[in-house]
Amino acid sequence: MTTSGSTSGATSGSTSGPTSGPGRERQAEIYRGGALGRRPAVPADFAGLERAAHEASTGKAWAYVAGGAGEGRTMRNNRDAFDRWAIVPRMAHGNVTRDLSRDLLGTPLTSPVLLAPVGAGALMGADSDVKIARAAASLGVPYVFSHQGCNPMEETAAAMGETPRWVQLYWSTDEDLVDSTIRRAEALGAGALVVTLDTTVLGWRPQDLTLGSLPFSQGVGIAQYTSDPHFTEVVRRRVAAARQSGAKDDVQVTLGAVRTLLSMTRAYPGRFLANLRSPEPRAAVETFLDIYSNPGLSWDHLATLRERTRLPVVLKGVLHPDDAQRAFDSGVDGIVVSNHGGRQVDNAIASLDALVAIRERVGAEPTVLLDSGIRTGADVFTALALGADAVLLGRPYMYGLAVAGERGVAEVIANVIAELDLTMALTGVADLAGITRDLLVPNPSRQ
């Protein structure tokens, strides 16, 4: 597929004229390219992007990334919630420039969009996290590194230059691993530690289950573990103990087992041939599966964070107003209202509906982000009008990666920010504070 020229910056402080902004710049870039016979790398609408990504993906990759919990009702709820609101544009406002910037817990944002932590990205393209990081950095958009990432977080950080990055943590049953991950996040200059609460166990995911497919058991999505000094030490001890006990390997040699072994071997750090002869790649997968998430995670665990890190702490996966209130009472710096993109509980409340109830409870002051269902710039506008300080973009950028690699990710991000900017221009809003609830009504066509 041919591509247009460089994806223009998403910042509001552009120099190309008083009426410009990321929206008009992106439009101009696409239309200029079009006049020369060039097409964007990714479809500009979400449905087209999703179709193209589906075509570009293997069955197992698509099941993992696009799939959801149970009958998919939470994913539908997420989208339906956006459709139940309508934007009411205001006219003749005279605003020609927009300021999309905001400070979020000390992280400067050029637009109210961050990239959500999405694990096992290599399913959609090799070197996924580094490519995503480069794309994010090209637009100055912060990236929340997934604890289930496919490149070591230090490598991903190095690809971002000065662009802010946050680090997401799944609370392991091994407390030393929690500490080690926090130390690494601090060392790479993370702007916040994002602790995901909603995945103490994996949800019931029929698409993956039907294919018997879990990326982690193939060694995909465990790079933060296999690059961790504490984790690798645990694996070595495990291998040594197995050797000493003379435990027999009772794995049946099937084609599937050989494929799994090759996948684990490829994903493991170090040389392929050496890994092939080593028991470590398999032991790493087994160790990971044993300790990766703590089903007993409680407020007592979370209370220890204040002594364990100086980073701002953000809790991700909050849906109930009581939990939101408790989070802020316990001193966390922010929350992400999220149902994990509908991947955990089937027929859970839409994130957007939860946001409304949570904002009502905690008031205007606390930092509240939203994800799950953000597909377009108009969605970002709606989420902000309902009280989100910023949003996290998830599946759409993964689809960009599947369709056109790093460039695809950059275009997807640029398109969302462009549409947000144009929506602000067309509703008479000059800055993010101007995106208020009175610009929305319950959608009369959906009542």
Ligand X SMILES: Cc1cc2nc3c(=O)[nH]c(=O)nc-3n(C[C@H](O)[C@H](O)[C@H](O)COP(=O)(O)O)c2cc1C
The answer to whether residue 93 is catalytic is no
Task: Give yes or no for residue 371 binding ligand X (CB under 6 A).
Answer: yes
111 to 150, contacts with ligand X by CB under 6 A?
116-119, 146-148
Task: Give yes or no for residue 377 binding ligand X (CB under 6 A).
Answer: no
Residue choice 130, 374, 418, 424 for contact with ligand X (CB under 6 A): 374
Residue choice 57, 172, 287, 372 for contact with ligand X (CB under 6 A): 372
Using the minimum distance from each CB to ligand X, give the nearer residue, 371 or 419.
371
Task: Give yes or no for residue 395 binding ligand X (CB under 6 A).
Answer: yes
Q: Show the site string, 327-366: x = touches ligand X by CB under 6 A, - = not.
A: -----------x-xx-x-----------------------
Closest approach of Cβ 277 to ligand X, in Å?
A: 31
Q: Show the site string, 37-76: x = touches ligand X by CB under 6 A, - = not.
A: ---------------------------xx-----------
Task: Give yes or no for residue 434 binding ligand X (CB under 6 A).
Answer: no
Task: Give yes or no for residue 205 binding ligand X (CB under 6 A).
Answer: no
Task: Give yes or no for residue 7 binding ligand X (CB under 6 A).
Answer: no
- Catalytic option among 54, 93, 320, 340: 340
The stretch among 133-141, 253-261, 368-376, 432-440 that binds ligand X (CB under 6 A) is 368-376
Cβ-based burial of 263 (10 A; exposed 0-12, middle 13-18, buried ≥19) = middle
Total number of residues binding ligand X (CB under 6 A)? 22
> Which residues are marked as active site?
340
Residues that bind ligand X (CB under 6 A): 64-65, 116-119, 146-148, 168, 196, 316, 338, 340-341, 343, 371-374, 394-395
